[in-house]
Amino acid sequence: MRRRMYEIIEKTDGKDKLSLFYDVFMLVVIVASLIPLTFKTEYHVFEVMDIVTVSIFIVDYICRWATADYKLEKQSVWSFVLYPFTFMAIIDLCSIVPSLSAIWPGVAFLHYLTMFRALRVLRILKILRYSTNFEIILDVLKASRKALLAVGTLAVFYILVAALVLFNVEPDTFRSFFDALYWATISLAAVGYGDIYPVTAIGRFFTMVSCLFGVAVVALPAGIITAGYMQEVNRKNVEARKNEEKKED
């Protein structure tokens, strides 16, 4: 029975009609749970929607936790211990906690905490569970984690060095080291809000040099992910053709 439950709640390839219905149903529930977030005024109908949707999320979370051994492919009690710490399980929990006050008066104080209320926005990430492209991107990130980690380390090093230089070159412009870090980060991302900028000739020259270096740093992860994505798509297409050929035989 748990095996069948797992097959239903997991994303289907389109052949399992009941699983397909469940996927569509959950997508509708997720979208419905986000509608109240687009209004500043709280209406009674939104409170009802919140209670219904969070109740469905809780049932879904329990079902996924109960079938964690199938999901993690580990036939042991550790599957149920590890599952709550997986990425999507954390997203599911964060989607539930802000609305617990609607169905459990004992935690009504959560309703007044802005941080917990803002967590409801994370519900949109639940949609990623039903996205094939998101699965491919996750596989690409796992396969390219060493290269991406190296680029990330380089980016952090660049931000720290650039911030230290400008903080000491222009102490009047950057009143705190955090301001310098902020400037270095937005310069690396080539955003340039213009709220903080160097005014001396040395500061501007260093900014030009650092921006050129920043463009190269930003381009590296984009190239790594793009190349990995294309390889993963091609691999999946080859696997799909092989599976079709086996069925024809």
Model pLDDT for residues 121-166, shown as the tens digit of each residue? 778 878 877 777 777 777 788 888 888 888 888 888 888 988 898 8
Helix, strand, coil % in the chain, rounded to nearest 5? 80, 0, 20
* Residue 115 in this model has a pLDDT that exceeds 70: no
* Residue 4 in this model has a pLDDT that exceeds 80: yes
Q: Is the model more confident about 121 or about 58?
A: 58
pLDDT at 60: 92
* Residue 102 in this model has a pLDDT that exceeds 70: no
Residue 59 pLDDT grade (very low, low, confident, very high; cuts 50, 70, 90): very high
Evaluate whether 26 touches 60 at the Cβ level (below 8 Å).
yes
CATH class, 145-248 region = mainly alpha
Evaluate whether 31 touches 41 at the Cβ level (below 8 Å).
no
Spatial CB neighbours of 148, under 8 Å, sequence gap ≥ 6: 141, 221, 224, 225
Phi-psi region of 14 (alpha: psi -120 to 50; beta: other; left: phi over 0): left
pLDDT at 105: 56
User: If you average pLDDT over residues 92-114, what whole number do you get?
Assistant: 64
pTM for the model: 0.63
pLDDT > 70 in the chain, percent: 88
pLDDT at 184: 86
Evaluate whether 183 touches 170 at the Cβ level (below 8 Å).
no
pLDDT in tens, 33-47: 888 888 878 788 888
Domain boundaries, the chain: 2-130, 145-248
